[in-house]
Amino acid sequence: MHTELSIEFFPPQTPEGAAKLKAERARLAELQPTFFSVTYGAGGSTQARTFETVREIAAEGHQAAPHLSCIGSTKAGIRDILAYFKAEGIKRIVALRGDLPSGMADPGELRYANELVEFIRAETGDWFHIEVAAYPEWHPQARSPRDDLQNFARKVKAGADSAITQYFYNADAYFHFVDEARALGVEIPIVPGIMPIGSFSKLARFSDACGADIPRWMRKKFESYGDDLDSIRAFGLDVVTELCQRLLAGGAPGLHFYSMNQAALTCEIWKRLTG
């Protein structure tokens, strides 16, 4: 079985974090992912660190896909970033709307991800493979599921090549979303985003903030383990491996792991899937 794999990192904040990420990345590189993506803070707040991490990944001989968000930016600023990526030989970009940094009122010249995708295409032709985000359980700020789906279709129409979803633990939500997108004429690959579970308390906080649903049966079981980290980890591995198996059996074109800059869980799940 050959399954497309991609893995996401966030830019480390300290030299120690950068050294640790380098070691974790070396372990993950053994899985031979198609690309490593690197996140980009609200309003480009981690821009220099994102560039640095992307440069390191490329220098190690891997394909890097920097995130690029447009909110709070100018066209001239985005143009400069695209020129920089091109000069570095970067061929893949994850194009997002992003979040405005708190206290910043001006959304900038490009307010939505579809406008960013359109701008990248107009400026650089087909140089970049453009990834966009998809939300099987709907974007927390969307007015309605229908609205959210139409936003997604607009991004695809603007020139996206493929999509990566927000993480989820309900495979039906993904399959339903793909069916609805196909009914709107969306034909690009929609790759499920996978969040391995190392700590339930962290996951619960994170999920509440980004609108990802943790099914009640999972939540109850995690809560029942209390502080038993080994049981939490073992149950998390089983649940996420099973989810991945179901997604791949149902036709998902690959898997995109949110690694949280840790290799162990992603490596273990991948070994179970391919072993």
Catalytic residue positions?
A: 8
Residue 9 phi/psi, 5-degree rounding, is -120, 165
CA distances from 235 to 202, 203, 247 (A): 15, 14, 18
Across the strands, what pairs with 133?
Answer: 164
CA dihedral defined by 1, 260, 141, 69, rounded to 10 degrees?
Answer: -90
Work out whether the CA dihedral 20, 25, 31, 37 comes out positive or negative. positive
163 contacts: CB under 8 Å, gap ≥ 6: 131, 132, 133, 134, 152, 155, 156, 188, 189, 190, 191
Measure the CA–CA gap between 20 and 166, rounded to whole angstroms.
Answer: 25
Exposed, middle or buried by CB within 10 Å (0-12, 13-18, 19+), for 272? Answer: middle
If DSSP codes are grouped into helix, strand and coil, which group holds residue 95? strand
Across the strands, what pairs with 167?
Answer: 193
Measure the CA–CA gap between 147 and 139, rounded to whole angstroms.
Answer: 10
213 Cα distance to chain centroid: 16
